Amino acid sequence: MNNADFSATQTLSVGDPLVIASRRLTDRLLSRALGASLDQQLAAGGRPESTRLLAARAQHIVSLPRRTALAGHWDHLLRVARRAPSGRARAVPLRSATILGAETAIGELMERLTAPLPVGARGVAMASVLLTDPTSPVYTRRGPRSLADRLRDAIIQLDPAQPLMHAA
């Protein structure tokens, strides 16, 4: 039987592992393409188990390599904030004094992110959104809550004692 005969006579059922693997790959790719939006949903308390895309995104962001990379981004932010102003405008304006004022909390956040313990997706998403959202206290004064307060919220969510899944 050649390939044309096989494809014409063979159908995949819903329980077929090839169908499941394909769906998972699609979910993973879409969850990365829509990462910022999905991270916003997770950070706001969206339940990872509520949709396939949130589940795929949550699975991706809680991996230790991804969390370690996120901690590296926070470390880079601290290094940039410590540099003396050079007279040149930055491509992205930072609130250096605010960032440096929250340095202790940022250090604790980085420790929690890089700890080889399981953590909930909400805390990782919260830490990511603080770096990527242009309305974050990292970049603007707008908003009722300080960077330190928002970091503390993320740190609490990264506590390994927190449940990884919401109770039904």
Q: pLDDT digits over 82-133, tens only?
A: 985 655 566 678 899 999 999 999 999 999 999 999 999 999 999 999 999 9
* pLDDT tier for residue 165 given thresholds of 50, 70 and 90: low
Cα 22 from Cα 26, distance rounded (Å): 6
pLDDT at 123: 96
Domain ranges of the chain: 15-157
| Cα-trace Rg, the chain | 20
DSSP state of 50: G
Cα 67 from Cα 116, distance rounded (Å): 10
pLDDT digit string, tens, across residues 130-152: 999 989 999 988 777 899 999 99
* pLDDT tier for residue 35 given thresholds of 50, 70 and 90: confident
What residue spans of 34-120 are helical by DSSP H? 35-43, 52-61, 64-82, 96-101, 103-114
Which has more confidence, 13 or 52?
52
Beta-carbon-side half-sphere exposure of residue 49 (alpha carbons within 13 Å) = 6
Given a cut of 50, is residue 10 above it in pLDDT? no
pLDDT at 76: 95
pLDDT digit string, tens, across residues 43-96: 999 998 888 889 889 999 999 999 999 999 999 999 999 985 655 566 678 899
Cα 20 from Cα 70, distance rounded (Å): 30
pLDDT at 77: 94
pLDDT at 23: 56
What does pTM read for this prediction? 0.79
Given a cut of 80, is residue 20 above it in pLDDT? no
